[in-house]
Amino acid sequence: MLARAIYNTGIRLYRAGVGLAAMGGKKKASLWLKGRQHWRSRMKQAGIGQHRLIWVHAASLGEFEQGRPVLEALRRQYPAYKILLTFFSPSGYEVRKDYPGADYVCYLPLDTRRNARDFMDIARPHLAIFIKYEFWYHFLTELYTRKIPVLLVSGIFRESQSFFKGYGGMFRRLLQQLTHVFVQNESSLRLLQGIGIQTASVSGDTRFDRVAALLTEQASLPLAAQFAGNSRLLVAGSTWPEDEQLLASWWKQTRREGLKLVLAPHEIQESHIRQIQGLFPEAVTWSALKTGATASDVLIIDNVGMLTTLYRYAHIAYVGGGFGKDGIHNVLEPAVYSKPVIIGPEYSKYFEAVELVSQKGALVVSGLSNLEDYMKRLLQEPAFYAETAAIAGNYVQANKGATGKILEYIQEKRFLSKE
């Protein structure tokens, strides 16, 4: 009871904090609030709950891309069901609100007991799928109470999480209520088994299936090819200020004949774009590039949603986030194209990065000196480049298959009907 009271207080404080941030002009906070206004009437007006329904929930854009292969496989195999896709964060909803693979896309209401009951009364899902690490107490409890099967896919667990602490009883009970937990690796499975969770199995990471599918897609960016011309591209994706400063220091001192740089920052607010332009005064933005040719060797991407396709045009990929406490972004997106991947030192939370580094398909830099060394080798030693690139591509192909295991389980348990 005490733990639940603390949780509920935390939810209310979070809501108050978002309100204050919105009043202070924070765009994401304003979108978070606006997207949840009148959610009950909006769900009813959209017709949610009037047909058999599968509910898929993702925290943000990265989690959506991770669960996307499962969602799309369900769409193909169970066409009689509508699909409701919910997001917690604006960075997911605002990018994918028009995603054609779902019948309805909306924000997840704040996790209160009343909201969870009302949401379930309206939606009436036949199956709920949560991606990676979303554990909302009232929503999961309401699903369990109503005997609606709930799957967690691509779960990843670490000893530092509350489930494995003395005070984590409430969250351990949530795990016990899940119908099945599909985890990415054996260490996560052992942790769950250590606290008595038997309804779990290793499926692998559905992100491998998602990025492997990129190879078959026909997406292209003619402007990126035009910008590259006959030059090789270093595509730096999801960069943060620390990454950008490091790249700027290297760019200023290196000989770069036949090389161009594309920067796709994690944050694309106008103020951040201006900061990057201060580091690279000669840079052109994607928006400006669309208006005509440029003689610049540096391109700044000032929109979202095109990074996975940009990696197609890379000769070398730099994946940002490795100099911050939250760690690196998705290394699989460039790796699937058999591109050598460079990352910063904070990657230990991401098992795919750990494995790719250990296999030498990803190269870790801690500063300017070894960034310069690795870039020189990749650009000047064809054998080193080819070996690193091949390891990256082969790693993705060797780890496909998680989606199939999850769909087999759903079929075996007959949660859904094909009629």
pLDDT per residue as tens digits for the range 213-224: 999 888 899 999
Helices (H), 124-196: 137-145, 169-177, 186-194
Residues 79-104, mean pLDDT to the nearest whole number: 95
- The DSSP secondary-structure symbol of 18 reads H
Whether CATH 3.30.200.20 fits 222-398: no
pLDDT in tens, 250-260: 999 877 779 99
Q: Where in the chain is the domain with CATH 3.40.50.11720?
A: 44-204+401-413
Lookup: tokens for 10? 């935390």
Mean pLDDT confidence for 398-417: 95
Using the predicted structure, report yes or no on whether residue 142 has a pLDDT greater than 70: yes
Tens of pLDDT along 325-360? 778 999 999 999 999 999 999 998 888 999 999 999
For residue 254, which of 160, 369, 349 has the smallest C-alpha distance? 369
Quick one: pLDDT band at residue 293, thresholds 50, 70, 90?
A: low
Structure tokens belonging to residue 20: 């204050």
Residue 96's nearest CA partner among 125, 73, 65, 74 is 65
Residue 36: pLDDT band (50, 70, 90) is very high
- What b/e string do you get for 232-241 counting C-beta neighbours within 10 Å, with b at 16 or more? ebbbbbbbbb
pLDDT at 390 over 90: yes
CATH of domain 44-204+401-413: 3.40.50.11720
The pLDDT assigned to 271 comes to 92
pLDDT tens for 179-196 read 999 999 999 999 999 999
The pLDDT of residue 178 is 97
CA-CA distances (angstroms) from residue 308 to 215, 286, 408?
Answer: 11, 15, 28
Q: Summarize pLDDT for 102-136 with one digit per residue, the tens.
A: 999 999 999 999 999 999 999 999 999 999 988 99
Q: Is the pLDDT of residue 281 over 90?
A: yes
pLDDT at 133: 85
Asked whether the CA dihedral 326, 352, 93, 220 is positive or negative, the reply is positive
Residue whose entry in the numeric block shows the structure tokens 């064809």:
382
